[in-house]
Each structure stands twice: as structure tokens, then as C-alpha cells.
A and B are shown apart, each in its own frame.
Chain A
């Protein structure tokens, strides 16, 4: 019975198996990125960045048609441009990073919409916004898995620098000149993961698999290393459960995954060790 519900869909339907591989790979890369975004109080940056990427992908589509390469390159170019531009503005002027990013992504978005309406190409905007995880081809899967691998390797390598930059940027600047490099490299990873993820979940929903598991993890642990593991676990559960839910109930897959991730977050908000229940169910205080 359980095997029929949980295993058969993935074993017998190749599109489900592909969706599973793709979404698991996205979880491995995007969830830890989300934890660092949250710790840097940049939780909404992913959303802004996703808007910045959309016009680039659309431009790639206009120029190259529905091609993985053209849309990926377009998305990366727009994303890196906005990330680098806002990073430089924030570090060299009094304009803070959120304002700098807001300015660039709004310009990017307006430019993208202008280009799309000026062109005669028919763009499937829904697919761009919400992805098509049940239609992942080989090339897209390779791209997603490659990005996840690069992300994990670079996060492992830059872990200390990233933690230092979030924890105490002034101190990090005092002991190492590499601070801005860690920051820009991290933003590049954000863009890379958003671009890889938008093929599966779309530019808007991919932010969900980045941020919701991170929020969940914050409620379960007070240790950054443990939070990274919990976030990945939550993202994996959301992907598997979301795909099964969409399969059995006939729901759209991308939104189903994000809804499960949201459900895990809401449940954690109430029941997790650092959640509401623990706060409002008084336990006797300790002696010291």
C-alpha cells in the first residue's frame, strides 16, 4: 500500500523520476543558500533577484527561442549584472544594498517587459513564472545537478568566510580583505541557483524552495551548521511529498511542492523547539 502510493509513481513514470532527480538536486543547492540569505537578513533578496532574472530569460527566449542555453545565459547575465551592480553601489556609496538592488531589479523588470511587448514572439509566461518540473529534459537535468554540485563545493570552501561576513562584518573586514569576494561570490551562487531552479519551478516559485526550508530550520536549531542540514532535509521532504501530492490529487506540481514547504514551515512555527507552542506553554524556569 505504502509502496504503491510512494514508490510506484516514481518507478513507473519516467517524468516523475526526472522531476524527483531535478527537485532533489535543487534542494541540495538552494536550501543552504536560503539559510545564508536569511541569516544576512536578505530573505526577500531572492524574490527581487528572481524578478531581475525573468527579463533576461525572456530576452534569451526572444533571441534564441525555447532553448535551454539562450534562456539560461539570458537569466545569468541579468542576474549577475543586477547582483554585481547593486553590490558595488552598496559598497561604494551611502545607498544601502536593499535600495541598490530594488533600483536595479525594477529597471531590469521594466526593460524586460518592454522588450517582451515589443517583440512578436509568443512567450509562455506561465511556464517562465511557475516552471515545468514534469517536463525536464536531459540537458536541463544536467544543468540543475551541475549547479547543485558547484554550489555545495563552493559553500563548503567558503563556509567560514560566509559565516564571518554574516556574524560580524566589521571584524571580518579587519582580519581578511576577502570579505567583498565572499559576498559577491555568494550573490553569484544565489543567481546561479535561481536560474537553475527556474527551469523546474519557475522564477517565482524557486524562491520558495530557497527560503521556506530556511525559515523552517531557524525554528528547529540555534546552530548554523545544524540549520543547513535541517533546511536541506525540509526541502527534500517538500519535494518528494509535493510531487506525490500533485500526482495523486492531480495538482500542479511546482505549487504543490512549495505548498508542502509552506506547510512544514507553518507546522514548525507552532511545534518546533523554538516555535510558538514552546513559548506559550510555560515550563518551570530553572534555578540558574
Chain B
């Protein structure tokens, strides 16, 4: 079921990984590896563990069982619901510049070249002219473009996107997908949680179909088949308070 780790050194590997909350699994016994430079979608029903998996890769959730092997030098993670306080008095340019904090730390000064890079990133996401605007004046789509500019400045080799196009219009989605392709072209590894199956088929070579247990993992056309999607849908997200302890062998 898992895509065999052909690459000698995968960027990311899951070893019998179980993730969850209060002992109830949200991702159950996941094993597999992701090669450097992969462009992979994570699909599946609500409650299937997609966001939980990204959270764990980002190091924000400790596994209930198994482990994650992560060789990425720098990781960037865009959660489904950002912690960002939208009425904070900060300009578009300054928010983009916060993307440099991972590399520059919390103290160092910024070089002129870095400010130029931030302006270039803002231009690349189509927000040219908005540099001095306060972020509270941005629309949802404009804010998402800005968060992509911040991601660009993070210069990460592993980029995790949790439903980046939910509530985003077609034009903006198209522009941001182009940026994902640019990252892919630069050899970065991108994992994106997505619900839009046509979008996945058009742009993501690999897919992991997750419904608590992995339903399929491999080349997108082989995974997003009627039978597999039906199987994923059939796996209910019912919560059993009295579920027995899992006895599956590691």
C-alpha cells in the first residue's frame, strides 16, 4: 500500500505512525516515505487525519505510536486556521518580512537584499502596490497571497500546506498553484491537504488518501479511483468512547 522508499534517503519517513488525541487515533499505523522534491496531495474525508498528520510533521503533536523521521533542513507550515491576529497593526511588507525570522533569528538586522527579496515575493504573489497597507484591510484571498509570500521568504525545503485554497476564488487559486509549481521546480518538497479532486489530478503527481487508516498512497491516477474514494468515504469518523485498545502488531 505504501509507496516503497526507492530513494536511498527519503526526506520524510513514517514508521508505523499513529497520531491522535486522548489515545483515540486520528492517523492509524501509517508507514511510508517521501522522496526529496515530491509534490504530494493529502486527500480524504473530514476527520481522516490529514491536518493531524501535517501538525505532527511540523512537530506540534507528539505521536501516540511509531515515529516520524524528518531530514528537512527547514520546514514551513501553513495551518488550516492561522493563529494570525488580523487586526494587528502591521503592514503587508512587514508581515512578509516575518518569513525571514526562521533564518535571521529574533535579533539580527535585515540586509537591503532581504528587503528587496520581500518586495519581490510580494510582487510574485500579485500584491504589488499593497506594501504599506495595513493587513486588516486585506481580503481573505489577498491575505492568503500574503501568507504565500511569507512562505516564499522562509526558503524551506519542506513546505506543508493545510487546505490552502479553502474559501479562495479560482483566479487566486490558479496564481497560488503556479507558485507551488515554482517551488516544485526549485526542488522543494510540498505536501498539501486538499479536497478539490480535479485540482489534485491536474497538479499533484502523488497522492496520499487518508481516512484514519491509509487507503492508498502513490501516483495520483492510481489512487483517486472510484473504488478507493468509495472505500475512504465508507470509513466513518464515528467516535467510539469505549473503543478497545488497539492490538495490531507494529
Contact = CB atoms under 8 A, between A and B. Distances in A.
Given A163-B90, A176-B106, A178-B106, A170 B82 contact: yes
Contacts of B177: none
Contact of A168 (B83, B105, B136): B83
A160 B101 contact: yes
Contacts of A161: 106
Contacts, number: 64
B106 A224 contact: no
A137 interface: no
Interface centre among B79, B98, B102, B136 (most CB of A within 10 A): B98
Contacts of A163: 90
Given A174-B77, A175-B101, A166 B88 contact: yes
B107 to A, nearest CB: 7
Interface string A24-67: 00000000000000010000000000000000000000000000
A132 interface: no
Interface residues of B toward A: which range? 20 to 34
A33 B98 CA distance: 22
A172 B101 CA distance: 8
Interface string A155-180: 00110110110111111111110100
Interface string B118-138: 000000000000000010100
A210 interface: no
Contacts of A166: 85, 88
Contacts of B134: 222-223
Contacts of B75: 174
A169 B83 contact: yes
Interface string B195-239: 000000000000000000000000000000000000000000000
Given A170-B83, A174-B58, A174-B77, A164 B98 contact: yes
A223 B136 CA distance: 11
B85 A175 contact: no
A227 interface: yes
A157 B107 contact: yes
B89 A176 contact: no
A17 B98 CA distance: 44
Interface in A131-189: 157-158, 160-161, 163-164, 166-176, 178, 182
Interface of A: 39, 157-158, 160-161, 163-164, 166-176, 178, 182, 218, 221-224, 227
